[in-house]
Amino acid sequence: MTVSPDLDRRFREAAASLDLVDVGFDVVDSPIGDLFVAVSDRGLAEISFDTRAEDQLELLARIAGPRVLRAPRAVDLARRELDEYFTGRRRSFDLTLDLRAMPEFTVSVLRELAHVPYGETTTYGELAARVGRPRAARAVGTVMNRNRIPIVLPCHRVVGSTGDLVGYGGGLDRKIALLELEGAR
């Protein structure tokens, strides 16, 4: 027996408004493609360019608890801030972030990354120096590559020491698009 879209929607809405989910997620559209966005009880937990939810749910359950449910209402705030960012009306995000289950080094790099201003770029080496590990540029690159919350934690603003874009978890096209949006290219 098929559950009607309306019944399904009402359940998901009730679950989110009664605070019964550990992680609510939804797919949010953006100029650089659909984004999988997940918000836990502690804040924004994941943004992914891979919108096949199946791959992300187990990870999210391990981090934040098993009640992982698609619940559009739960990501409303994140959706709004992302919309504002993509339409040029927002330069920094006010969302709280859920950085649970990340190694200490990763967290310190990401916190430093969050300070790289809109429209500017830095290098892997510079970022490594700023967390007190000047020789760890490569490790910083790995952290960027595995960044669970791209866009909001702006790993697209980190480039190679010669100015090469180097790489991006979501593909170089997206990195270029984000830097162009911010007027950094």
Partner 1 sequence: MEAVAVPPFERFYAEHRSEVLRLLRRKLGREGAEDAFQETFLRALQAYRRLEHGEHLRAWVLTIARNVVVDTVRRTRPHAEPEEIGTEDSRPAYEELASLTDGLPPKERAAVVLRYGYDLSYEQIASALDSSEDAARQAASTGVRRIRRRISS
- Report the interface residues with partner 1, using CB under 8 A: 1-3, 7-8, 10-11, 14-15, 18, 20-22, 53, 57-58, 60-61, 65-70
Query: Rounded CA gap, 152 and 94, in Å?
Result: 9
Query: Rounded CA gap, 163 and 156, in Å?
Result: 13
Which DSSP string corresponds to 157-171? GEE-TTS-----TT-
CB of 3 to partner 1, least distance (A): 5
Nearest residue (CB) to partner 1, 22 versus 81: 22
Q: Return the C-alpha torsion angle 125, 131, 136, 141, nearest 10.
A: -70
Nearest residue (CB) to partner 1, 23 versus 35: 23
Catalytic one of 28, 71, 82, 155: 155
CB of 25 to partner 1, least distance (A): 8
Task: State yes or no: is 155 an active-site residue.
Answer: yes
- Map 89-152 to HEC letters: CCCCCCCCECCCCCCHHHHHHHHHHCCCCCCCCEEHHHHHHHCCCCCCHHHHHHHHHCCCCCCC
Q: Is-contact 127 158, C-beta < 8 A?
A: yes
Residue from 30, 34, 68 nearest 51 by CA: 34
User: Residue type for 96, please?
Assistant: T
CB of 53 to partner 1, least distance (A): 7
CB of 148 to partner 1, least distance (A): 16
Nearest residue (CB) to partner 1, 71 versus 155: 71
Nearest residue (CB) to partner 1, 1 versus 132: 1
Which positions are catalytic? 155
